[in-house]
Amino acid sequence: MDNLRRRVEHFLEQKNFATEALGALEARTGVEKRYLAAGAVTLLSLYLLFGYGASLLCNLIGFVYPAYASIKAIESPNKEDDTVWLTYWVVYALFGLAEFFSDLLLFWFPFYYAGKCAFLLFCMTPGPWNGALLLYQRLVRPLFLKHHAAVDSAMSHLSGRVLDAAAGITRDAVASLPGRSEE
């Protein structure tokens, strides 16, 4: 627990949008940043548990910061952070796909969105306990290595059929333009 407290205090000392906003609130109210941050996290957690629109809030948490961090990773010369965030987006996409098919069932579980948010935060966790990297290494990668040849073949066949269909639709659309005679 002491390690977590140190990490939070280290985060609050950094210069970013959240800490600047907390600093401005601290100056205005006289309440320390760490208490303001704890209050914000508590309110956010309660809203995820009981609030209307928890789905939107959970999706924003799972999307906004990772998108920002991904842009920063793209712009940095370091390629290791690119891999971390690409892995996050692969796991996020697979989770979203699974959620799409199970949403009607999962929606009825109490505190579902709090659990989903905790899972997404676990996937964003930096360092050796990064949930996205763990899930990728243990689940996604073995399945990919086992089935990628079949998926590549199916995608190649499907893309050929889509291109043929698009060419046919374009040909028909051009032929039906006014002033265009059948040749």
Instruction: State the pLDDT at residue 115.
Output: 87
The confidence band for 147, taking pLDDT boundaries of 50, 70 and 90, is very high
One-character DSSP codes across 60-129: HHHHHHHHHHHHHHHHSS-SHHHHHHHHHHHHHHHHHHHHHHHHHHHTTSTTHHHHHHHHHHHHH--STT
pLDDT at 102 over 90: no
In a domain, 42, yes or no: yes
In a domain, 16, yes or no: yes
Residue 113 contacts residue 48 (beta carbons within 8 Å): yes
pLDDT tens readout for residues 75-98? 999 888 899 999 999 999 999 999
**Number of domains, the chain:** 1
User: What domain range includes position 38?
Assistant: 1-50
The confidence band for 16, taking pLDDT boundaries of 50, 70 and 90, is low
Picking from 143, 117, 93, the residue whose alpha carbon sits closest to that of residue 41 is 117
Picking from 106, 89, 94, 85, the residue whose alpha carbon sits closest to that of residue 139 is 94
pLDDT tens readout for residues 51-77? 677 888 888 889 998 999 999 999 999
In a domain, 176, yes or no: no
In a domain, 138, yes or no: no
In a domain, 27, yes or no: yes
pTM: 0.67
Instruction: State the pLDDT at residue 123.
Output: 94
The confidence band for 142, taking pLDDT boundaries of 50, 70 and 90, is very high
In a domain, 127, yes or no: no
In a domain, 31, yes or no: yes
In a domain, 62, yes or no: no
